[in-house]
Chain A
Amino acid sequence: MRSFTHGILLSRLLLIWAFLVLGIYVLPSTANATTQKLVLSGSSTMAPLLLEIGKRFEATHPETRIDVQTGGSSRGIADTINGLADIGMVSRALNPQEQHLHGSAVAHDGIGIILHASNPIQELTNTQIQSIYTGRINNWQQIGGREATITVVNKAQGRSTLDLFLHYFQLSNRDIRAHVIIGDNEQGIKTVSGNPHAIGYVSIGTAQYDASHGLPIRLLPLHKVPASIESVRTGNFPLSRPLTLVTKSQPTELTKTFIDFAQSAEVHDLIFKHYFVPFQD
């Protein structure tokens, strides 16, 4: 007899399953059809900021949805070109091959060299940084530091921080002798704060925030200019980048409204909250 109860149970389970599958097909169609959706994709540096800007935009523009996806600037460009995203987030200026895209800067960010706070080195010249990253200098002693092997932390391919760093120091990624490859900024900071002999480069805003919250890292000045949000704002800091929103063609309608909103003074407090500097012409 018991077997029969199992049989009934099984048919009930099948019924429940059928309802669930039906639900999957029916649910999507119940979504509000009048809602307009914008998909943003790209730079992980920009994603948290744009997520917040998107929320504020949704609050003032009902019937709109701003979906923010992440994965790196190259992904933002690729998704914009193949249509998966309406707007790409690219944390650098567009390069000559990308000039067919339309870019609008929303904020500025600097890239700073970071060391562990216990490292006695207070300053490095550009040549020294080049030598460290190409492996010609591999011990801190060679440049007046402690007797310890240097741990070189580099960014992963496709990250615009890497492109900017390479461009500024006139290096090619093939020449770099890295020991650790990192993705996002916080990961770089965690790597350097956990290794007294490491050197890395990350977004200045993030580094400044973490340093002021007790993480053992120190930002080095570049070309004698202190690495701080302040010097990025004044435009003195040599290694800075515009955080850019890109579109495939001239932005229109909702895309234009959103980009205008992201460039307006209404979001300056959000930009400061994420340790960037608002864009000013």
Chain B
Amino acid sequence: MRLLSKTIRETGATLLVWGTATSITIPFLWLIGDLLWHGWPQLSLNFVLALPHNAGREGGIGPILVSTGLIVSVCMVVALPIGLGTALFLSEYTRNNHMYGRLIRGSLDVLAGVPSIVFGLFGNAFFCQTLGLGFSILSGGLTLACMVLPILIRTVEESFRAISQDQRLSAAALGISKRATILLILFPAAIPGLLVGCILGLGRAMAETAALIFTSGYVDRMPESLMDSGRALSIHIYDLAMNVAGGNPNAYTTALVLVGLLLTINLFASWIADKWTTLNQLPT
């Protein structure tokens, strides 16, 4: 009797765990399935390259893809060095209880929790108006950089901290300077973490709507310079789905492209991180 009830309890527990795991997968599969179902029929090379027509109901997303790429590039080019430097400062140049370090960490945590629309309004007020950049890809990219920095810095800092203290001590014992230690030992070892930080930042940047609508803007023309306004993919999806009657089919296809891009970037990054780790484990 006790044996039986034990089996029932065990099966119950197994079912419960399987159930929760399935309930996580179902929304994901549903979402991807829905996107494929509605978006796939319109997807073609022409859709990816063509200019949008009739407010996006017809035509493709060529200029929007280019604008998104430019915005994200500006964001990463600006955010990476600043993020890397701050992370190095936090992990290598300050102790945990250092006052200034704590101030930086505290402000980063606050920044990470700020809603993106607030970044959007800040970007509009500061980059577009005060600095006079207007609605432009540059304004959008800089706004995104501000938004991505907290995540980037914290991830990179963690990856530096994860490196064993032995390596730093051995380097010091061998008389290697701090600069050389960072450049030649810590930096290569932190590359996978750096990549993860970049991908998290990139993902957040590419999927952003609220921070971009008031900074990089709504124009769906092919951008000719970074001072041109350019529409990001997520804004295009939002506009087609919520503002343009009959925009649904193309909204689905654009969303499919965006999700596909994000998945590709994720896969590529984990592949690189894998490669890098195996490369470093080879005996030198």
Contact = CB atoms under 8 A, between A and B. Distances in A.
Interface residues of A, number: 48
16 contacts: A7-B183, A17-B77, A28-B138, A28-B226, A28-B227, A32-B224, A49-B55, A67-B228, A68-B219, A69-B219, A71-B214, A84-B128, A186-B247, A189-B245, A206-B245, A275-B245
A193 B221 CA distance: 33
Given A39-B134, A69-B219, A2 B284 contact: yes
Given A20-B73, A67-B135, 14 more contacts: A2-B284, A3-B184, A6-B187, A17-B77, A31-B224, A47-B218, A47-B243, A48-B55, A51-B219, A52-B55, A67-B229, A84-B129, A84-B134, A185-B242
Interface in A3-34: 3-4, 6-7, 10, 17, 20-21, 24, 27-28, 30-32
Given A10-B183, A69-B219, A209 B246 contact: yes
B83 to A, nearest CB: 12
B48 interface: no
Interface string B244-284: 11110000000000000000000000000000000010101
B183 A70 contact: no
B228 A31 contact: yes
A186 B244 contact: yes
Q: Is the interface of A mostly helix, strand, loop or mixed?
A: helix
Given A68-B218, A84-B128, A24 B55 contact: no
B64 interface: no
A51 B55 contact: yes
A17 B80 contact: yes
A183 B242 contact: yes
A273 interface: yes
Q: How large is the interface on B (under 10, 10 to 19, 20 to 34, 35 or more residues)?
A: 35 or more
Nearest to A47: B218
Nearest to B120: A71
Contacts of A51: 55, 218-220
Contacts of A10: 183, 187
Interface in B85-123: none
Nearest to B184: A3
A273 B218 contact: no
B243 A1 contact: no
Choose among A4, A6, A49, A210 the residue with the greatest number of B CB atoms under 10 Å from its CB. A6
Given A48-B243, A84-B134, A3 B227 contact: no
Contacts of A163: none
B79 to A, nearest CB: 11
Contacts of A47: 218, 239, 243
Given A7-B183, A28-B225, A186 B242 contact: yes
Nearest to B185: A3
B118 to A, nearest CB: 15
B54 A186 contact: no
Interface string A179-220: 000011111011000000000000001100110010000000
